[in-house]
Structure 1
Amino acid sequence: MRRGNWHMIRQRRIGCISSKTQPTALKTYWTNGLRAEKYHKLGEMGAIPGEFKEVGNEEQKATYLLNETKIFGREEDRDEIIKFLIRASGPDFATIAIVGPEGMGKTTLAGYIYNNVRVKTHFKKRMWVSLSSNIQVNRLAENIIAAADETYNRPSDPLHCLHDAMRGKRFLLILDNVWNEHIVRWDLLKATLEGGASGSRVVVTTRDQNAAVITSTDHPYTLSSLSDEACLSIFSSKAFHGRSETSELSTLKTIGKEIVKKCKGNPLAAEAVGNVMLFKRTEEEWLSVLQGEILDVPDITKADILSYDNYPSHLKPCFAYFSLFPKGHTLSRDVLIKLWMAQNFFIPRSGKEEEEIGRDYFNELLRHSLFREIKKDSDGRVIQCIMHDLPHMLAQFVAKGEFCTTEIERFDSGLFQGRHLSLIVNNNNVASPTPIRFPKPGNVRTLLVFSQAGVEVELQLSHLINPLIHLRALDLSGTSIKWLPNSIENLKLLRYLNLSGSCIEEVPKSVTSLRNLQTLNLNRCQRLHKLSKGISKMVSLRHLEIEETDKLVYLPKGIGQLSSLWTLSKFTVDEMGKGCKMGELSNLNLLRGNLEMRNLGKVERREDAESAELKNKQFLRSLLLDFESNAKEEDGTMLENGEMKKMESVLMGLGPPHANLKELKICNYMGSVLPSWMEDSPFSSLVQLNLHSCRKFKQLPALGKLPSLKILKIQGNEGLEVVGHEFYGGSNTAFPSLKELSFISLTNWEEWNLGVEDGTTKKVMPSLQELYIQDCPKLEGLLGHPPDSL
């Protein structure tokens, strides 16, 4: 057999690149905007909840995302720091600290450097970690490991694991927002990181001069104020966006130059004021801002006050809610929306669900430059962010009286008269944890408990719950609670209950009496083994979150009656026992996001599979089909032919899912053939396909016909021997959108035909950029040539 240019396939692992006076105007807006109207009369206003917890206690691990495509006034700073990072001479390991006051652009500058092409090429590993004020060195080590896309076994020593992960690799680490308290164990962290390859670098951003001096190998790099010209560029990019050139615009530009001078070289101030001026169209409005007293106050917070002054009324309670979150915590868009929903903050809009309105509100706040974006979904929408420090201070300022955020041992429930409360538990509380008590009924609408990882929280829940009869949002995530008292059924107004990461073992029957509950978050409850019967009574439930709950082996009957359900993280089939059968999915056609279907090996008939009616789940974007229950072989013996045929029939009956599906993963399937619907044109929106531990199939479907497929991963198969022309389908261009292709652990794969058929060559994978081949010992080479795009 004639081979192509590749005579041998080398197995290769590719590293993942991975003031003193309070302005009267502010008081007026606070009264009118937040307290007066009881907001939209959707119900009594209640609290302004705050953060997430399951994400809030984790530092940022994702790549820093830039909003802008151009850097203003920092080109020289950028080039100097990059020169330091990639120079051939110098110490094997070095740290540089970028230091300057709030709003000077330290994080933005670091972000440009992080994403610079030369930097990307120079460093094998790049990691970005944002720090909160109370993070400990072990936790920081864990987050650096995660940012490097390395695995970590939690019981082991994180510093030792970090040393191993970095050993021999030239890396760049950005530690964003470092404070003085973070440097107590700096020498320990530095010693751990010094195991990397020569040329490894750490960039620290900080406002603390002491922290900058201690962490820098050389002198800290101090950011000075920007020139008025650079600030004007920033201001103009916001204030004049989309405006055509007119004589009136020329007048506004002249006024704008004078406004920018009052920003005193602070880029964040220039950006914040620019965002405000975008919505002011007349010369009179611009002169009013220029002549006003707010910009004459040197504190940048006054610029933020100006921005808040111009928020539409419906955003003000949502903004004030941010005051409940500790500074520097990662904010999850979806968690924020669910908390806002619980407080009736949304003005109804015809044809829009509350969650959709919430996303509009979030995006509006995002446009006010309040946040640093840190994670986007596959469609480019921001789903995680961190609030800038000064907007966070503003949120706390405008929320005084209604909101309180304090450490748990300092909380005096007898003095608290507000409606929204968040309590912080940290290492200072460990020696003698303080129980939370509310001695008398009150109007508390939000209670959030933020506990640091590994810190136990003593909660006398019966004393906690009984007085809180008006509570709408309760977050006890990450605490050590093991049970809920029956008195929780008295929280008739409760709409949001977050127990994620807790030690709870069972959700009691009393919870099913919460008829107004919209969100029940049980993610990462590793001890949870049972949901109560009667769950069908929870008619308002929209989000049942049960990810990473391995001991929860079945769902109670009645799930199918929750026709308003949007989120169901996992559906575990129990056709023969007391749990849900497949048919319970038939009415859940509003399900969105991700759905994991497990124990499909227990399904006996194709008709049972068809009863799930996946074809009607038009809002699902990701689907996992796991056959693991009956997929395991006993003592190495083969499954009986009848079992294999049953699986083939069941998988055929499950599809095709709705054409809107973007991601599909099939695991532990033991059939010898794959269903034909995987290559059908109604399945044309699929972007990612993963066949994992599907060990017996002998031929791949014509997946080349799927026009939108970008990622294809086939892992763990012993039946496939040849990948031939049938893999590409009948069209002249196969896999037109495919960018990443992986073949892993295909133990008997011998031959790969790259589109050669009857003497002609198809146009195969014209967009392919990454090819992974690993643990395929019998593969000798390719028939044909890999695409030039690789």
Structure 2
Amino acid sequence: MEDALALFREMVNKGISPNFITCDIMMQGFFQTGRAANAKELFLWIIKSGIQIKLRTYNMILHGLCKNNVTLTAMDDIGSCTSYREGLLQRLKKEVLQKCSGVPFVAVSLGHKVRLEKDRSKWATVVRNEHWNASDYDSALRLSYAQVESHLKPCFAYTSIIPPMILFNEEWRIQHWMAQEFILPNPDTGTVEVEEIGRFFFRYLVELSFFQRAGVDPTGEQHSYILSPMMRDLALQVSGEDCKCYIMGMGVPLNHQQKVRHLTIDLSNIANQNMFDFNVISESRCLCTLLVVGGSENFVPRIPEYIEKRFPRLQTLDLSNSGVTELPGSIGQLKHLRCLQLQSTMIKQLPKSIYDLYLFQTLGLRNCYFLEELPHKIKNPRKLRHIDLVVTHSPFRNVCSLTCMPKEIGLLTDLQTLSRFVISKESTVNIHTHKRGIEELAKLNHLHGGLLISGLEHVNDVEEAARAQLVCKQFLRKIGLSWSGSNKQDEQNMEHVELVKNGQVVARPHLSLKTFLQRSTSRSYNHKAAQIMEHLKPPTIIEELTISGYAGMACPRWFSSPDYLKLVTLHLYDFKNCTVVPHVGQLPLLENLHIKGWGGLVSMNRSKFCGSNTTCFRSLKKLHLERLDRFA
């Protein structure tokens, strides 16, 4: 926010006049960071500067101030910019407080009505004539919806397919909007990604209270949202026959199937979910969206073998949280399919025909613990932007079964999400295999969010690591680097060393020779790991870094770099050979430091953490030390 404010001031100082869009963005940023006073100051500056004010700006200031418990200030601001008499303003304050009752969209709706009355002398009458009761909320909601910009209305109406009180998150919703082409690139914004436009749409609807925050994930980063009952009723009204949420087990048939374009099947009310049959929606040939929710891992949907004939226009298919283990090969005949969500399913492999989907954008495989590999020719759908392979650690599940990445996945240069990259041994020793190594990451420079690279023990040399060009991934915010195992296999091989002459075993090495060979192999492995780590330098923009299983004797030099100015969380796990902690105490924003499984660490002090710097850990909130076996 400080960077944005500095740039805004620079614009003004250079004589570049901001328009109402620029001011709205700044005001929204102030409210999101809890700086309502700054938003108020900016609003008054806009009035004095003569910048044209849109209705949206008034809505934003009213909504933001009410939401920050400064409703009186909201009326003060309206009064100061409209030359209201002080006595009248004081009376209006109390009435607005009573009518809003802490509900933001009521304040927004009231602001709409006041501003629509051009005769300022009648504003008091407008406020006093507002009598809010249960039946009036619908009118307020409709008025709020009427003021929403036209390109946002289909985005909101589409959410009517979400069942009551079902949680959803921002990225999932945006990917669905993209699949239905509710979000399109704006030629005026140049290089702004479609996802960024979608985030603006989503957060704007949140600010207007159309979506309600319901919780946050354990990391404290990803919010979940719900549609309140009133908002869902509004969404159902404005979507008409296009969107339906059909609840199975209620004894009510699904009518007007021919008109339905977006459909959710809710199975939460039926005892035997496997009784569900896709014949229930046999007449829905115009479907563009099909979601099946309320299932469990015991529910295995019987997907029609010729699904392309049943749903020829399908653009989004979501079978998440079910027991589906495979998809029919005909899935590749869904020529319009853009979004396939299989989160938390038991899928093991995807059909090869999936690479025939030319318009394919999103492949959601989050928490698919049994997934073994991706299709070999996944490079074909060049419009693919999101491959979600996040696996949440669970005591009830084994680790991820994914063992490799497909060859030429690096050709998908539009990828925005690739949350996991697994390096396999085969990919580094056989050039004819369909599996490839870490160099596939070289051109994937548009990746956002997080990336976990595992299997680093299979990287052959420094050149291979350098070709990944990890430092060029300037949009990543989280990076994980993982070695699994170490040189145990090499040590086991040493146990079977024999001296052979003319095909006959003539001697077996003495124990000391075995030990020597094992130690030599171990030193070589550790040295190689250290060299590889030096060339896996993350971009300096990252906020979270996790490294596990590193076998080097010393930490890489870039660990001590002061350039990681935004690093907040650092996890260093199972550094079994390191005896000295890196100089991370000088990182200005570091709040969380986790050190676990350092078998060689015997002591630490401020000088080891901070070097010669006198200031140390300026922002640290949590220091977690665990399994330091030799630590005194």
Q: TM-score normalised by the shorter chain: which range applies?
A: 0.7 to 0.9
Cα-to-partner distance string for 1:290-323 (whole Å, 9 max, x where unaligned): 6999968734222212211211111111111121
Structure 2 unpaired stretches of 5+:
1-31, 38-65, 392-398, 493-514
Aligned to 1:123: none
Aligned to 2:170: 333
Could you say if the C-alpha distance between residues 348 and 259 of structure 1 is closer, same or farther in structure 2, counting changes exceeding 3 Å?
Answer: farther
- Give the structure, 1 or 2, with the largest relative contact order (CA under 8 Å, sep 6 or more): 1
For residues 103-252 of structure 1, the aligned pairs below 5 Å read 236=72, 244-248=80-84
Mapped to 2, the partners of 1:249 and 1:461 lie a distance apart of 70
Give 3-state SS (helix, strand or coil) of 2:135's partner. Answer: coil
Mapped to 1, the partners of 2:530 and 2:127 lie a distance apart of 72
Cα-to-partner distance string for 1:250-279 (whole Å, 9 max, x where unaligned): 699589569759949674664453564697
8 Å CA contact retained: 1:241, 1:278? no
Aligned to 1:628: 484
1:400 to 220, 240, 244: 240
8 Å CA contact retained: 1:536, 1:561? yes
For residues 96-495 of structure 1, the aligned pairs below 5 Å read 236=72, 244-248=80-84, 253=89, 260=96, 263=99, 267=103, 270-274=106-110, 276=112, 282-283=118-119, 298-346=135-183, 348-349=185-186, 350-351=189-190, 352-375=192-215, 383-408=223-248, 410-412=252-254, 415-430=257-272, 433-437=275-279, 438-439=281-282, 442-454=285-297, 456-462=299-305, 464-495=307-338
Could you say if the C-alpha distance between residues 261 and 646 of structure 1 is closer, same or farther in structure 2, counting changes exceeding 3 Å?
Answer: closer
Aligned to 2:551: 670
8 Å CA contact retained: 2:306, 2:330? no
2:367 to 524, 527, 532: 524
Could you say if the C-alpha distance between residues 415 and 618 of structure 1 is closer, same or farther in structure 2, counting changes exceeding 3 Å?
Answer: closer
1:283 positional shift: 4.0
Structure 1 unpaired stretches of 5+:
1-64, 71-229, 751-790
1:740 positional shift: 1.6
Cα-to-partner distance string for 1:577-632 (whole Å, 9 max, x where unaligned): 53221110000000111100000011121111111101100011111100114365
Give 3-state SS (helix, strand or coil) of 1:664's partner. Answer: strand
1:690 positional shift: 1.0
Cα-to-partner distance string for 1:177-213 (whole Å, 9 max, x where unaligned): xxxxxxxxxxxxxxxxxxxxxxxxxxxxxxxxxxxxx
Could you say if the C-alpha distance between residues 249 and 536 of structure 1 is closer, same or farther in structure 2, counting changes exceeding 3 Å?
Answer: farther
Mapped to 2, the partners of 1:234 and 1:707 lie a distance apart of 34
Aligned to 1:647: 529
Cα-to-partner distance string for 1:134-181 (whole Å, 9 max, x where unaligned): xxxxxxxxxxxxxxxxxxxxxxxxxxxxxxxxxxxxxxxxxxxxxxxx
Letter in 2 for 1:373: R
8 Å CA contact retained: 1:239, 1:276? no
Give 3-state SS (helix, strand or coil) of 1:690's partner. Answer: strand
1:379 positional shift: 12
Aligned to 1:601: 457
8 Å CA contact retained: 2:274, 2:300? no
Could you say if the C-alpha distance between residues 257 and 662 of structure 1 is closer, same or farther in structure 2, counting changes exceeding 3 Å?
Answer: closer
Could you say if the C-alpha distance between residues 442 and 255 of structure 1 is closer, same or farther in structure 2, counting changes exceeding 3 Å?
Answer: farther
1:496 positional shift: 0.8
Could you say if the C-alpha distance between residues 258 and 651 of structure 1 is closer, same or farther in structure 2, counting changes exceeding 3 Å?
Answer: closer
Give 3-state SS (helix, strand or coil) of 1:704's partner. Answer: coil
Give 3-state SS (helix, strand or coil) of 2:486's partner. Answer: helix
Could you say if the C-alpha distance between residues 489 and 662 of structure 1 is closer, same or farther in structure 2, counting changes exceeding 3 Å?
Answer: same
Mapped to 1, the partners of 2:165 and 2:240 lie a distance apart of 20
Q: Calculate the aligned-residue CA RMSD, in Å.
A: 3.6
Could you say if the C-alpha distance between residues 700 and 381 of structure 1 is closer, same or farther in structure 2, counting changes exceeding 3 Å?
Answer: closer
Cα-to-partner distance string for 1:415-464 (whole Å, 9 max, x where unaligned): 44121111101252416612013435722111111124355153333254
8 Å CA contact retained: 2:169, 2:222? no
Mapped to 2, the partners of 1:496 and 1:275 lie a distance apart of 39
Mapped to 2, the partners of 1:378 and 1:619 lie a distance apart of 23
1:558 positional shift: 1.2
Could you say if the C-alpha distance between residues 743 and 257 of structure 1 is closer, same or farther in structure 2, counting changes exceeding 3 Å?
Answer: closer
Give 3-state SS (helix, strand or coil) of 2:355's partner. Answer: helix
Mapped to 1, the partners of 2:228 and 2:74 lie a distance apart of 18
Could you say if the C-alpha distance between residues 511 and 411 of structure 1 is closer, same or farther in structure 2, counting changes exceeding 3 Å?
Answer: farther
8 Å CA contact retained: 2:335, 2:358? yes
8 Å CA contact retained: 1:433, 1:457? no
8 Å CA contact retained: 1:589, 1:616? yes
Mapped to 1, the partners of 2:616 and 2:143 lie a distance apart of 56
More strand by share: 1
Could you say if the C-alpha distance between residues 264 and 612 of structure 1 is closer, same or farther in structure 2, counting changes exceeding 3 Å?
Answer: closer
1:532 positional shift: 1.1
Give 3-state SS (helix, strand or coil) of 1:535's partner. Answer: coil
Mapped to 2, the partners of 1:313 and 1:330 lie a distance apart of 25
Aligned to 1:749: 631
1:693 positional shift: 1.0
User: If the length of structure 2 is used for normalisation, what is the TM-score?
Assistant: 0.75
Give 3-state SS (helix, strand or coil) of 2:477's partner. Answer: strand
Paired-residue identity, %: 29
Mapped to 1, the partners of 2:277 and 2:315 lie a distance apart of 21
Number of equivalenced pairs: 526
1:412 positional shift: 3.4
